[in-house]
Amino acid sequence: MVQTIGVCGAGTMGSGIAQVAAMAGYRTILYDMDAGMIAKGRAGIEKSLALLQEKSRLTEAERQATLDRLSFIHRVEDCIADLIIEAIVEKPDIKLDLFLRLASVNDPKTILASNTSSLSLDALAEKVPGPERFAGMHFFNPAPLMKLVEVVHTLHTAEETTQTVMQVARQMGKTPVRCKDAPGFIVNHVARPYYLEALRLLEEGLSDPETIDALMVATGFRMGPFRLMDLIGNDINYAVSISVYEAMGQPERLKPSPIQQQKVQEGALGKKTGKGYYRYE
Ligand SMILES: NC(=O)c1ccc[n+]([C@@H]2O[C@H](COP(=O)([O-])OP(=O)(O)OC[C@H]3O[C@@H](n4cnc5c(N)ncnc54)[C@H](O)[C@@H]3O)[C@@H](O)[C@H]2O)c1
């Protein structure tokens, strides 16, 4: 039974996932190697809970109880839990290194889940100790609001592991959907051209981000591709584009755009850095 959840990475996704876990009643540990990110993650959660209380979506007692269930750590050795959700940088070697360290300090039954958007979980499972307790748990941004969670089982994931992850997602008030491991799983696979075709228009000087976004919103999308890339983080979106492109055998239609690379090189990562395709306060 899952009582304690560890979340690794206190960035855009990790801090949101930790908030959701603590609100759902789990003792929650939020770990990041960067003390500044832990402070930022903690402040973000506190602000979000205060806002929910202001809107009467949370009582003062619930807000306080949620905060009491949360702890913030910067030593991986202290990340001991029944289920650990990894939400760090989208790089396979760095994720694997973290999973190896987590496996060495946790019980062999601890479920290890990755929030990766696009990396091959089958490939990671080959190297994670105890691959039967390893799965994907892919939340969407912003994690406290978005209902969907893709629960990805690898060739080695035990049915019991998948069931437990689905159950935890439901307890968090989410809608879990079972997926097989595939490049970008379901949503990022289908959504890739939404970003890339918009970037082609920009590359060719045929339109600009404001116009493209306004038109896509007018046709019924909740958010235009450039606003959405800024929300996701241009580094993450670029990494996902490369990973899906490579995994699909480099088809021309999925080739990442040089504009994405340029944004990353400039540090224009989007909302999280205050500048991307748009500027943010
Ligand atoms: N941003 C999105 O919209 C989105 C949506 C779904 C899934 N994801 C996935 O979630 C993961 C995290 O994305 P994000 O947008 O939250 O990234 P982010 O850049 O906002 O945060 C990443 C955090 O990980 C920390 N970190 C990096 N390496 C670490 C390590 N070795 N040990 C501990 N902490 C480390 C960083 O300090 C940072 O705080 C990625 O795998 C991404 O593909 C992102």
Q: What is the 3-state secondary structure (H, E, C) of 144-186?
A: CCCCEEEEEECCCCCHHHHHHHHHHHHHCCCEEEEEECCCCCC
pLDDT band of residue 281 (cuts 50, 70, 90) is confident
pLDDT, one tens digit per residue, over 212-254 is 999 999 999 999 999 999 999 999 999 999 999 999 999 999 9
Q: Give tens-digit pLDDT for 59-86.
A: 999 999 999 999 999 999 999 999 999 9
The atom of ligand 1 lying closest to the CA of 235 is 19
Ligand 1 atom 8 nearest Cα: 117
Closest CA to 178 of 158, 155, 162, 201: 162
CATH number listed for the domain at residues 192-273: 1.10.1040.50
- Report CA(3)–ligand 1 centroid distance (Å): 24
120: nearest Cα among 91, 87, 88: 91
Q: Whose CA is nearest to atom 18 of ligand 1?
A: 11
Tell me: pLDDT of 194 over 90. Answer: yes
Q: Which atom of ligand 1 is nearest to the CA of 37?
A: 39
* 6 close to ligand 1 (CB < 6 Angstrom): no
pLDDT single digits (tens) 147-186? 999 999 999 999 999 999 999 999 999 999 999 999 999 9
Q: Where are the domains of the chain?
A: 4-180, 192-273
15 CB near ligand 1 (under 6 Å) = no
> Tens of pLDDT along 122-145?
999 999 999 999 999 999 999 999
Tell whether the model's pLDDT for residue 91 goes beyond 90: yes
Task: For residue 243, indicate whether it is catalytic.
Answer: no
Q: Distance (Å, rounded) from C-alpha 3 to C-alpha 69?
A: 11
Which CATH number is 4-180 given? Answer: 3.40.50.720
- Joined together, the tokens standing for residue 224 give 């235009």
